[in-house]
Amino acid sequence: MSRISVIFRREFASYFATPLAGVFLVLFLFLSGLFTFNLGGLFDRGQADLRPFFQFLPWLLLFLVPAISMRLWAEERRIGTIELLTTLPFTLTDLVLGKFLAAWAFAAVAILLSTPMWITVAWLGSPDHGVIIASYCGGLLMAGSFLAVGGCISATTKNQVIAFVVCVVACFLLLITGFPAVQDYVSGWAPSAVVESLAAVSALSHFESILRGVLDVRDVLYFASVIAASLFANVLIIQWRKAD
Amino acid sequence: MNHELITARGLDKRFGSIHAVRGINLDVRAGEVVGFLGPNGAGKSTTMRMLTGFLDPTAGTVVLDGINLADHPMLAKRRFGYLPEGAPAYPDMRVDEFLSFIARARSFTGRDIKQRVDAVIERVHLSSVRLQTIETLSKGFKRRVGLAQALIHDPPILILDEPTDGLDPNQKHEVRELIRHLGSERAVVLSTHILEEVEAVCTRAVLINSGSIVFDGTPAEMDAKAPRHIDRNRLDSVFRSLTTVDTADPHTRKATSR
Ligand SMILES: Nc1ncnc2c1ncn2[C@@H]1O[C@H](COP(=O)(O)OP(=O)(O)O)[C@@H](O)[C@H]1O
Ligand SMILES: [Mg+2]
């Protein structure tokens, strides 16, 4: 545990070592505000809840999470510090978990910066706080899944731009299999089992079901398994391709 | 304490069709400073990466201070300090932050962290840059940060890939003095392609060519292999003769031309 925390501390601090973190957080806040108020019409709906914010959140995460995860391993490869890290007394699991948790914590900071919106809504009306808390959990779980997938992709390359692009595509695929248009299209010709399994692997379907206000075990389990499987794959990729 | 600290048996490494290291055996005792010599691409770095576990050997075993590296990597990794080629470090960290991170990684806690960092900064003369970010350092200082990082836990084994590369003559001299001092009670393996360095700091020269050891002895024995009539750059001449024999050997030429 303490070995993981050594990695966590260095990684988390590294997000703030450059102005990039500030730029990122401001951009995140700006975009979430823009989506929520202008496109989502938070105030025009006459309803006190944060639904517009959470409905746009997956699409915001789709671009902002890969921006966090792209450097996780690609940068270590590029500057050669992967050789230092892996020859220090850490296990690969320490390294993968420490990095992932630091990235997740940073993403959580970004997401939780939106809490002033929550306060505003609570002040203007009487929202269902249970639904909002569940939705925040859903957003964090989705960010975690994207980060774990992105970490894996970052582990395969030295090039952050490639890591970013491939991660956006991968996360996009994870999202759109649950998109109504895709579901309709597929249900036109595929057996219903296929349609259902597509929905089952879609991060969007699970997220939307959380947005309804219940933190169902199946949905949590879905995100937990995406995270666990990706982290496991991440360890294997580093193990096999440490020196490439 | 003159026991074997490094024992490598039959170390072999292939990268696809490239046979980078071919069955190297090596024993290093405390008090020895071994200089790995060889032309670029000889397999020095690859060998050191197998000694530190960064690369898994295709065949062979590494035992460090009695601990089998493949069986007990976490224990074995505590026994050495390693300066990888190019002295990689995090560019946006300050020198003291980076060394504190390494100290924590080496399981130091609380006041010990600062004490270790201060001691090593003193030892490799980094006081003037301790608050600078690593990206702003000259090549020489960066190399010394890498050296500091390898020394922080005072390990019995030191593996240093080109420790004086990029240093100016004064800095080279300083680092050599330090290594010679460290080597009096440790096992040190360093790589270089500077022959005078071997004479200056090493108790033993190991010449590697095309992945095999072609000479293993004291620098004086190496010098003795030079023809009598050469009285200047004698080591250069031995180096050349030992590392070019292979190309004259028709068997190896066939193997490498594939
Ligand atoms: N990761 C790698 N993949 C493929 N070939 C490699 C890799 N690392 C080293 N090599 C090859 O192995 C040989 C030995 O390299 P190296 O150990 O770096 O030599 P040296 O350090 O003596 O200059 C070279 O031919 C090099 O191209
Ligand atoms: Mg080398």
Residue of B nearest to A83 (CA): B54
Chain A residues lying within 8 Å of B105, measured CB to CB: 3, 6, 88-90
Is A14 in Cβ contact with B90 (below 8 Å)?
yes
pLDDT at B249 exceeding the cut of 60: no
Asked if the C-beta of A19 comes within 8 angstroms of chain B's C-beta atoms, the answer is no
Q: Where does a domain end: B130, B154, B178? A: B154
For residue B57 and ligand 1, the question of a CB distance below 6 A is answered with: no
CB contacts < 8 A (A, B): 62
Return the ligand number nearest the Cα of B210: 1
pLDDT tens digits, one per residue of A9-47: 999 999 888 787 888 888 888 888 887 776 666 666 666
Give the per-residue pLDDT at A39.
64
CATH number of the domain enclosing B57: 3.40.50.300
Distance B216 CA to ligand 2 centre (A): 19
Shared domain check, B112 and B25: no
Shared domain check, B246 and B128: no
Structure confidence at residue B253 as a pLDDT band (50, 70, 90) = very low
Split into its structural domains, chain B has a count of 2
Is B77 in Cβ contact with A88 (below 8 Å)?
yes
Are the C-beta atoms of residues A146 and A163 closer than 8 Å to each other?
no
What is the 3 state secondary structure string of B116-159?
Answer: HHHHHHHHCCCHHHCCCEHHHCCHHHHHHHHHHHHHCCCCCEEE
What is the nearest CA distance from B15 to chain A, expressed in angstroms?
10
Q: Which two tokens stand for residue A44?
A: 């025009």
CA B85, chain centre distance (Å): 9
From atom 11 of ligand 1, which residue's Cα is the shortest distance away? B20
Looking at residues B205-230, what average pLDDT do you find?
85
Shared domain check, B164 and B41: yes
Give the per-residue pLDDT at B237.
73
Give the per-residue pLDDT at A194.
72
Can you tell me which atom of ligand 1 is nearest the CA of B49? 17
Q: Where does a domain end: B154, B171, B192? A: B154
Shared domain check, B166 and B52: yes
pLDDT at B144 exceeding the cut of 50: yes
Shared domain check, B91 and B25: no
Shared domain check, B237 and B174: yes
Shared domain check, B246 and B181: yes
Give the per-residue pLDDT at A242.
78
Compute the mean pLDDT over every residue in chain A, rounded to the nearest whole number. 86
Shared domain check, B162 and B239: yes
Gap between the Cα atoms of B87 and B128, Å rounded: 19
Looking at residues B10-21, what average pLDDT do you find?
95
Smallest Cα–Cα separation from B156: which of B80, B103, B88?
B80
Q: A163-196 burial string, b = 16+ CB within 10 Å, else e?
A: bbebbbebbeebbbbbbeebbeebeeeeeeeebe
Task: Write the burial class of residue A125 (CB in 10 Å: 0-12 exposed, 13-18 middle, 19+ buried).
Answer: exposed
Count helices and strands (H / E) in chain A. 13, 0
Q: Where does a domain end: B137, B154, B171? A: B154
Residues A65, A67, A70, A72, CA torsion sign: negative
pTM: 0.89
Q: Which two tokens stand for residue A222?
A: 């879905």
The label of the residue with tokens 């590494």 reads B62
Give the domain range for residue B168: 1-79+156-258
Shared domain check, B119 and B21: no
Give the per-residue pLDDT at A210.
84
Looking at residues B3-17, what average pLDDT do you find?
94
- DSSP state, residue A89: S
Looking at the DSSP assignment, which residues form a beta bridge with residue B21? B13
Give the per-residue pLDDT at A162.
93
pLDDT at B244 exceeding the cut of 80: no
ipTM score of complex: 0.89
With a CB-CB cutoff of 8 Å, which residues 63-92 of chain A face chain B?
79-81, 83-84, 86-91
Is B77 in Cβ contact with A89 (below 8 Å)?
yes
Give the per-residue pLDDT at A214.
81
pLDDT tens digits, one per residue of B113-122: 999 999 999 9
Are the C-beta atoms of residues B105 and A90 closer than 8 Å to each other?
yes
More confidently predicted of B87 and A130: B87
Shared domain check, B181 and B65: yes
Choose the closest CB to B92 out of A17, A86, A89.
A17
Q: Tell me which of A68-72, A96-100, B51-55, B70-74 is least confident.
A: A68-72
pLDDT at B88 exceeding the cut of 90: yes
Are the C-beta atoms of residues A64 and A25 closer than 8 Å to each other?
no
Q: Tell me which of A27-31, A155-159, B30-34, B56-60 is least confident.
A: A27-31
Shared domain check, B7 and B41: yes
pLDDT at B133 exceeding the cut of 90: yes
Residues in B lying within 8 Å of A, measured between beta carbons:
49, 52-55, 73-74, 77-78, 82, 84-86, 88-93, 97, 101-102, 104-107, 149
Q: Which two tokens stand for residue A51?
A: 């639904």
Residues of chain A scoring pLDDT < 70: 1, 38-48, 178-181
Gap between the Cα atoms of B25 and B13, Å rounded: 13
Asked if the C-beta of A133 comes within 8 angstroms of chain B's C-beta atoms, the answer is no
Contacts of B73 (CB under 8 A, 6+ apart): A91, B53
Query: What proportion of chain B, given as a percentage, has pLDDT over 90?
Result: 70
Q: How far is CA A28 from CA A13, A24, A56, B193, B252, in A?
A: 19, 6, 12, 51, 60
Shared domain check, B167 and B74: yes
Contacts of A167 (CB under 8 A, 6+ apart): A65, A66, A69, A70, A146, A149, A150, A153, A154
Q: Which two tokens stand for residue B192?
A: 């270089």
From atom 27 of ligand 1, which residue's Cα is the shortest distance away? B41
Choose the closest CB to A242 out of B54, B78, B86.
B54
Residue in A77, A158, A240, A244 to alter for ligand 1 test, most ligand atoms within 8 A of Cβ: A244
B74: number of CA atoms within 13 Å, CB side?
Answer: 8
